[in-house]
A and B are shown apart, each in its own frame.
Chain A
Amino acid sequence: MSRDQVRIRLEPLALEIETPVGTQLIKALSGQGIEFPCGGTGTCGGCAVRVLSGSLPVTDPDRTAFLPEQLALGWRLACQARALMPLVLECCQWRMDVLTDDACLIGSGKHGLGIAIDLGTTTIAAQILDLATGKVLGVETELNPQASFGSDVMSRIRATLQGDDLTKMLRVLLGQLVMRLARGREPEVAEVILVGNTVMHHLFSGCDVEPLSHAPFVSPNLGGQTFCPQDLGWHLPSTCKIRFAPCLGGFVGSDILAGILATGIAQSDHLMAMVDLGTNGEIAIGNRFGIVCVSAAAGPAFEAGCIRMGMRAATGAISHVSLCGEEIHADVVGDVEPRGICGSGLVDAIAVGLRTGAILPSGRIANGTKLFPIAHPVVLCQADVRELQLAKGAIASGFKLLLKRLGATAGDLKSIHLAGAFGNYVQIESALRIGLLEAHRERVYAAGNTALRGAKMLLVASRESALPPIEHVSLATDIDFQDEFANCMRFPAADDHSQEAETYNNSKIADTRER
């Protein structure tokens, strides 16, 4: 990077841009899909950003647009600011609709109020409920404040090992969130439960993350952790019990434990699967006799993270792609000119490309230009398809190895539950077409935020529910993983026609060489 450029990272998309020092943010950000509804006059407040790292001075329009507390939290109007130093900004417009959960649970004899928190690497969702009735009384969502250190768990571990205090920032933010949920309510909050992956568990609890930074990734602190409000500096009654649920092993945390409870795998006579698609894809397969689970590093492709024209499902994003006869049809969020493509659109687009033969089962774009046009000006380039192949290869191979471990086949699965935001928005037909999952269409369900639902179940349960043995499988030590991963990177061939096209092209390469 040359000296007169500054780097800006935009959360929650983790998009990085470089711009000359002193550039107005309105110029730097409008190219990235951020909208300035009032044209940058500082009157509408639509371009609000929160400074997560670096600083932006408070301007007069900022004082009009925000409350003093909001200013203190770092909220500014992007249209009034310039990039003078490296910045990490949370973009209000990209603040994804953090998935919460509408399920109502039946209380089981407890009293008082309880709070369930799904502490995600990117997002946080929390609900307060009446323990006696199971009724949800309030919801709060937040972005994980650690995002300023990077979007994946490894970057958080690294920051911690380098001496940054990621525990305190998390406890402070969650303390405020808990306060907002509890404020003005009767009776008092009696219990709080948190679920999250192993790294979130360790960082919240203040456990040493060093063992998670290298093979064999075994930490001695996987168990549940209990706190009282004073330990955390939270303004709750001193009798309130705060618990972080136990991890299952490796990087598979209590969010998956909660998912297992929420989807009912632990009570099922038949084989069921749950796939939570995020930066880390977690998979659990089993029934009431036993469950195996795995964590597969999928990277950010399902969130369109490393895709050239990738963006959040915000205005201008292609969210769905379908075939109308021979023509490609694209749905654009907000019905405007397309500007980019989001995760669900990407999976659709590749499924369509496979159907038309524009993309070959090997992943090659067939037309020789290495570009696959979706809707002008949005195109997929060859590297975009490759990114998705890596992500889907990681999930699909993890899935296959778990089935193999159980001595089962995809046909034995009674149901497959897709958890998390991506699972909610992706078209299941497209996910099957690209080979992300091998399953009958009618057995695949979007399951929503299973981590939060399971956390609520843990909260209202009067005693710990009996679980079958849950075995954590490490992909890295599985000798078949590399072969399976390579196989799973290919897309399934639809029919003989596309296989023919592939063979034809391969022999053409060989021919060219011979000459």
Chain B
Amino acid sequence: MALSKELFDAILNGDAKRAHAATETALAEGAEPMQLIADSMVPAMDEVGKLFEAEEYFVPELLLAGRAMKSAMELIKPLLVASGQKMAVRVIIGTVKGDLHDIGKNIVASMLEGSGFEVIDLGADVSPEAFVAAVKERQPHIVCMSALLTVTMPAMKTTIDALSKAGVRTQVKVLLGGAPVTSQYAKEIGADGYSENANGAVGLVKSLLAVA
């Protein structure tokens, strides 16, 4: 579809204005919002992830692509809400308490959103209580936590413990990310998975939901 190719290219090249315009045009010409996500945005972000894996793209390209994708989503989201359509998978994401690093978390959030998941971003410095409240209220399938400092990593455990204490731990899969985090640490504190990078996080969510 020519229209979706325009949106695809705009996201791949990190051009937010063009992505916005392409989405407007496509919607005006009668494209289904869900279809636009599935046919244009998901393949584009998928390609961005592949280019990152292949060392062609780096952090700036990921951020730009994420921004382009977001500018398209801004137009599509209200339509989905209005029509009562829901995305099949809901993810809550945030950087843990005491930690203000949000670039990596933002990239993961946009990669997940670009993979067709509904993403609720709680921001940075998110307390265990805020994670628990969001899980209770929004009923997500997945909770993603990020920490970039060795000294804030323990807040991941505190948050998992808080989810258990609130009786909602088993409702969700908990995934971890961030430079100092390891898969061994994830196992130790009872998380369901760990990914080294944003692209891996997408694969992880998909594989976890397939078995869930």
A-side interface residues toward B, CB under 8 Å? Answer: 154-155, 157-158, 161, 213-215, 362-364, 370, 382-383, 386, 389-390, 476-477, 482-483, 485-487, 489-490, 506, 509-510, 513-514
Contacts and interface: CB of A to CB of B under 8 A. Distances in A.
A271 B8 CA distance: 46
Closest 5 CB pairs of A and B: A214-B98, A476-B100, A213-B151, A382-B55, A486-B60
Interface centre among A482, A485, A513 (most CB of B within 10 A): A513
A476 B63 CA distance: 17
Contacts of A476: 100-101, 124
A363 B57 CA distance: 9
A154 B150 contact: yes
Contacts of A510: 9, 12-13
Contacts of B98: 213-215
Nearest to A370: B55
Contacts of B124: 215, 476
A148 B56 CA distance: 37
B161 interface: no
Nearest to B179: A299
Given A213-B152, A214-B97, A477-B100, A513 B12 contact: yes
Contacts of B172: none
Contacts of A477: 100
B60 A362 contact: yes
B58 A215 contact: no
Contacts of B12: 509-510, 513
A482 B102 contact: yes
Contact of B64 (A158, A486, A514): A486
15 contacts: A157-B151, A213-B98, A214-B152, A215-B97, A362-B60, A364-B56, A390-B59, A477-B100, A486-B64, A509-B12, A509-B51, A510-B13, A513-B12, A513-B47, A514-B5
Interface string B114-153: 0000000000110000000000000000000000011110
Contacts of A362: 58, 60-61
- How many B residues are at the interface, by size bracket? 20 to 34
B47 A155 contact: no
Contact of A389 (B51, B58, B64, B100): B58
Nearest to A386: B58
B99 interface: yes
Given A476-B101, A482-B63, A489-B60, A161 B151 contact: yes
B58 A489 contact: yes
A133 to B, nearest CB: 45
B166 interface: no
Given A362-B58, A482-B102, A154 B149 contact: yes
A448 B70 CA distance: 46
Contacts of B149: 154, 213-214
B106 interface: yes
A509 B56 contact: yes
Interface in B186-211: none
B59 A489 contact: yes
A293 to B, nearest CB: 18
B60 A383 contact: no
A477 B101 CA distance: 10
A362 B59 CA distance: 10
A506 B100 contact: no
Contacts of B60: 362, 486-487, 489-490
B103 A482 contact: yes
Contacts of A215: 97-100, 124-125
A209 B125 CA distance: 19
Contacts of A489: 58-60
A490 B59 CA distance: 10
Contacts of B97: 214-215
A376 to B, nearest CB: 22
Nearest to B50: A513
Nearest to A152: B150
Contacts of B55: 364, 370, 382-383, 386
A383 B64 CA distance: 20
Given A214-B151, A476-B124, 20 more contacts: A154-B151, A214-B97, A214-B98, A214-B149, A214-B155, A215-B125, A362-B58, A362-B60, A362-B61, A363-B58, A364-B56, A477-B100, A486-B59, A487-B60, A489-B58, A490-B60, A506-B13, A509-B51, A510-B9, A513-B8
Given A214-B97, A510-B12, A158 B61 contact: no
A380 B151 CA distance: 32
A214 B51 CA distance: 34
Interface centre among B64, B99, B100 (most CB of A within 10 A): B100
Contact of A486 (B47, B63, B152): B63
Interface centre among A157, A213, A214 (most CB of B within 10 A): A214
Contacts of A389: 58-59
B99 A214 contact: yes
A157 B58 CA distance: 31
Contacts of A382: 55
A214 B156 CA distance: 13
Contacts of B106: 482
A485 B58 contact: no
A383 B52 CA distance: 11
Nearest to A476: B100
B56 A485 contact: no
B47 to A, nearest CB: 6
Interface string B48-80: 000100011011110110000000000000000
B39 to A, nearest CB: 14
A485 B103 contact: yes
A154 B63 CA distance: 27
Contacts of A482: 63, 102-103, 106
